[in-house]
Amino acid sequence: MNNFLSIDSVSKNFGNYKALNNVSVDIPKGSIFGLLGPNGAGKTTLIRIINQISIPDTGKVMLNGEILNSSHIREIGYLPEERGLYKSMKVGEQALYLAQLKGMSRLDAKKQLKYWFDKFEIGDWWDKKIIELSKGMAQKVQFIVTVLHKPSLLIFDEPFSGFDPINANIIKDEILQLRDEGSTVIFSTHRMESVEELCDHIALIHKSNKVLDGNLNEIKRQYKTNTFEVGLVCNEQRVLKQLISSKFNSVDASFRSLGKELKLNITLESNQTSNELLNFLSSNAEVNHFMEVVPSANDIFIQTINNQK
Amino acid sequence: MNHTRLIIEREYVTQVKNKKFLLMTLLTPLLFGGLSLFVFYLMSVNDDSIKNITVSDNSGVFENSLLSSETIEFSFLNDLDQEQAKKISKERNDYGLIFIPEIENTTDIDYVALSESIKFISEEAPSITMIRTIEKKLEKILTNLNYTSIGLDLNKIEESKIYLSLFQESFDGEETTKSDGVAKMVFGLILGMLLYMFVFIYGSTIMRSVLEEKTSRIVEIIISSVKPTQLMMGKIIGTSLVAFTQIFIWIILSLIISALASSFMGVSASELNSVDLNDPQFASGLQSGLAAIFNLPLLNILIAFVLFFISGLFLYGSIFAAIGAAVDSETDSNQFMLPISIPLVIALYVGMLTVSEDPSGTIPTIFSHIPFTSPIVMMMRIPYGVPIIEQIISLSILIITFFGCVWFAAKIYRVGILMYGQKPSYKDLFKWLKY
């Protein structure tokens, strides 16, 4: 198996409250794995178990083929959602401290910090206190601290919150680069557009249960309904509409366009192909828009959650 | 273990580098010194004034025998009744008036009846010591007169009086004196107070340090690298080291200050001695005082202080750490502070009220074995001499309790540091133990 992290039937209770119920998730090596779910679903509990902050009641977690143990702490870099640093400690000093806690030598940590500080052009922050920095600036320091010890597993909980678009982009590029260099990334977020952009695998957790997981494209394939969004230019829109509905399942659609064409969502039956549809349409009108409707991560998220109710 | 060392180091360095630490370390002895000087000054001012007392002696017995002293000035009036005497005394703005009525039979005086007829009249209630002083003076005069009237020779009585000062020795053969007792009490009190103070000061420092990590949310990053128990122990140990540093600095400072003071005043120790020799009573007092200090089981005190100090600070430190983890802000911590303060305050009072009376009595013995009060009470007892085996038992109980406490505190700490936005009740804390 090429799974870097494998979570096997993990359950966790807090008193009478079940935070995780028999959750199993496999995270392939070198992937960016989106851990999705509404607030309070159990994502943070799962992340804390991976970080060995909490211990699962039942089930086991394997990292790179070994049962999770304290030597793995060095392998993991964690950026929690609720983040913060010592307010009155100097940036350089606390970065060094946190790096050493992750098992780096002081010398090594200093070298790496210099590399990252130069990369982010923040070399002159070394002697500043966190309290003197803006929120975005502190976030940058925190990101560096997370990745400094070159962990093979990176866990980001809402990494882009607090960043302006420019800095969010810088961070996004860094995450992609770290993935390319061989790190596996777990990415917990509500922001579906960043899931679309970054994740290749996802798991959806809802009310302490895993309700969906797998490769994002495969999931999309499962969720697609063979529906096509079409825009047709013709004079007799009503006639055309009737003609189409005699042969295909169609409903009115709306999307942004420049003209006043007829807009429809057409769903194919299993014996119909997209080429048949296109040929039929082009012989009856001018086709200026033809696109398969692929469900977005957001649609899948909402649909799955609603199905659970 | 390496991680714990890092945490201890960070905790220590940040606290010692903090300006507050420097300020507190330097100012506290000054403040205490200044305060005691001030109190001393107030007392001397209070005592300094000479009290004027009018004596309206209609009996003629006291005129030549009641003599003014350094603090009391007697002035005599004759042949006035009580109201007239009162009026004069009031006009003079006297401290008070002693009124002695006329006696009928001047040849065969009934001194007992006379003594019962003397009155002290004053505007405000006089101090007890003042009344005692006057009573003693009058008593002595009347007693002597009474002796003479029944034919006793005052000189012979004086000659045949015996003054006794018991020679004290402990069962171990060590000589002790009264000043030993005072030294023991003072020493014990200082040690007990020091412990009390440090538990509160450094206990709340630990609590604040935990709270800082919790409110700044850095704690989640740290406990993804180290175990919560390691973090907690690191904090407790680091902070205790800071406390030690402070005491160490105080000892050095007091040595420097006393050296400076003696040279500044231009009196070296030898000069002090030669001056004192002129006043043998003072010299012997000073010497017996010094001897009293060296008579104390100093090595025992030192070792016991270090051990009880560490264990006491650790014990309370772990509780403070758990409180810091359980709450969201310092104001929320108040509900949990009371149960901590009670045993400490009890310890201090038990120590102050019972130890000097009977250091090996039941109450001090019991309280010096209860782990939450033992550091303070035991430190107050040790200067009087406590069998080593008793100290070891008490310390063992303390250390075992400490481990139990750390176990509980660590559980609360582990859960508490990641709980935000709720003010936990005792019931919640109990639930957390089971997570």
- pLDDT tens string, chain B, 435 residues long: the values are 578 899 999 999 999 988 888 888 888 878 877 887 888 788 777 666 778 888 888 887 887 788 888 778 888 888 788 888 888 888 888 888 888 888 877 777 888 888 888 888 888 888 888 888 889 988 988 898 888 888 888 888 888 888 887 777 767 666 666 667 777 888 888 888 888 988 988 999 999 999 988 888 888 889 888 888 889 999 999 999 999 899 888 888 877 877 776 666 554 444 444 444 445 555 555 566 666 666 677 788 888 988 999 999 999 999 999 988 888 888 888 888 888 899 999 999 988 888 888 888 889 999 999 999 999 999 888 888 888 899 999 999 999 999 999 888 888 888 888 877 677 778 777 777 776
Whether A101 sits inside 8 A of B434 (CB atoms) is no
Contact B212 A85 (CB under 8 A): no
DSSP annotation of A124 reads: G
Q: What is the pLDDT of residue A307?
A: 85
B293 touches chain A (CB under 8 A): no
B225–chain A Cβ distance below 8 A for any pair: yes
Give the distance from residue B19's alpha carbon to the nearest chain A alpha carbon, in angstroms. 12
CA distance B252 to chain A (A): 30
Q: How many CB atoms are closer than 10 A to CB B274? A: 11
The Cβ of residue B246 has, within 10 Å, a number of other Cβ atoms equal to 19
Residue A90 per-residue DSSP state = B
A85 part of contact set with chain B, CB < 8 Å: yes
User: Given this model, what pLDDT does residue B1 score?
Assistant: 53
Alpha carbon distances (Å) from B150 to B111, B112, B153, B357: 11, 13, 9, 43
pTM over 0.90: no
Q: How many CA atoms lie within 13 A of B353 on its CB side?
A: 9
CA distance A307 to chain B (A): 31
Contact A198, A176 (CB under 8 A): yes
Between chains, do B216 and A89 touch, taking CB under 8 Å as contact? no
Round to whole Å and give the CA distance between A27 and A6. Answer: 6
Q: What is the DSSP letter of A41?
A: S
d(CA A128, CA A111): 19
Long-range contacts of A39-44 (CB under 8 A, 24+ apart): A39/A190, A41/A205, A41/A206, A41/A207, A41/A208, A42/A12, A42/A205, A42/A207, A42/A208, A43/A157, A43/A188, A43/A205, A44/A81, A44/A157, A44/A188
Q: Which residue stretches of B360-416 are H helix? A: 362-367, 374-381, 388-416
Q: Which residue's structure tokens are 């507190």?
A: B24
Measure the N-to-C terminal CA separation of chain B; round to a whole number of Å.
Answer: 25
Q: For residue B46, what pLDDT is reported?
A: 66
- Which of B225, B227, B433 is the best mutation test for A, with the most CBs of A within 10 A? B225
The H-assigned helical ranges of chain A are 43-50, 91-101, 106-119, 135-147, 165-180, 192-198, 216-223, 237-247, 274-284, 297-308
Task: Using a CB–CB cutoff of 8 Å, tell me whether A12 touches chain B.
Answer: no
How many helices (H) and strands (E) in chain A?
Answer: 10, 14
- Residues in B closer than 8 angstroms to A76, CB to CB, are 224
B216 contacts A86? CB cut-off 8 A: yes
B5 touches chain A (CB under 8 A): no
Q: Does the beta-carbon distance from A78 to B6 stay under 8 Å?
A: no
d(CA A50, CA B61): 100
ipTM for the predicted complex comes to: 0.80
Full set of structural domains in chain B with CATH: 50-160 (3.40.190.10), 177-432 (no CATH)
CB contact, 8 Å: A80 with chain B? yes
The size of chain A, in residues, is 309
Q: State which CATH number among 1.10.10, 3.30.70, 1.10.530, 3.30.450 fits the domain covering A225-293.
A: 3.30.70
Where do the domains of chain A lie?
A: 3-221, 225-293
In order along its 309 residues, chain A shows pLDDT tens digits of 578 899 999 999 887 888 899 999 999 998 999 999 888 888 989 999 998 888 899 999 999 888 988 888 889 999 988 778 888 888 999 999 999 998 899 999 999 999 999 988 888 888 988 888 888 888 889 999 999 999 999 999 988 887 888 888 888 999 999 999 999 999 998 888 888 888 999 999 998 999 888 898 899 988 888 899 999 988 888 888 888 888 888 888 888 888 888 899 999 888 888 899 999 998 888 998 999 988 888 888 888 888 877
Contacts A153 to B, Cβ<8 Å: none
B332, HSE (Cβ side, Cα atoms, 13 Å): 18
Question: Is any Cβ of chain B less than 8 angstroms from the Cβ of A82?
Answer: yes
Tokens for A201?
A: 């695998």
CB contact under 8 A, A87 and B217: no
CB B431 to CB A15 under 8 A? yes
Please tell me the predicted confidence (pLDDT) of residue B391.
Answer: 92
Per-residue confidence (pLDDT) for residue B152, from 0 to 100: 87
pLDDT at B318: 92
Cβ-nearest to B225 among A15, A73, A84: A73
Full 3-state SS string of B105-131: CCCCCCHHHHHHHCEEECCCCCCHHHH
Judging contacts by C-beta atoms under 8 Å, the chain A residues touching residue B7 are: 101
Output the pLDDT for position B357: 82
DSSP state letters, B176-241: E-HHHHHHHHHHHHHHHHHHHHHHHHHHHHHHHHHHHHHHTTTHHHHTTTS-HHHHHHHHHHHHHH
| Amino acid type, A250 | S
Of 2.40.70.10, 3.40.50.2000, 3.40.50.300, 3.40.50.280, which CATH number belongs to A3-221?
3.40.50.300
Nearest to A84 among B218, B434, B435 (CB): B218
Question: What is residue B377's predicted lDDT score, i.e. its pLDDT?
Answer: 92
Provide, as residue numbers in chain B, all residues whose Cβ is less than 8 Å from the Cβ of A53: 220, 223-224, 228, 418
DSSP state letter for B350: H
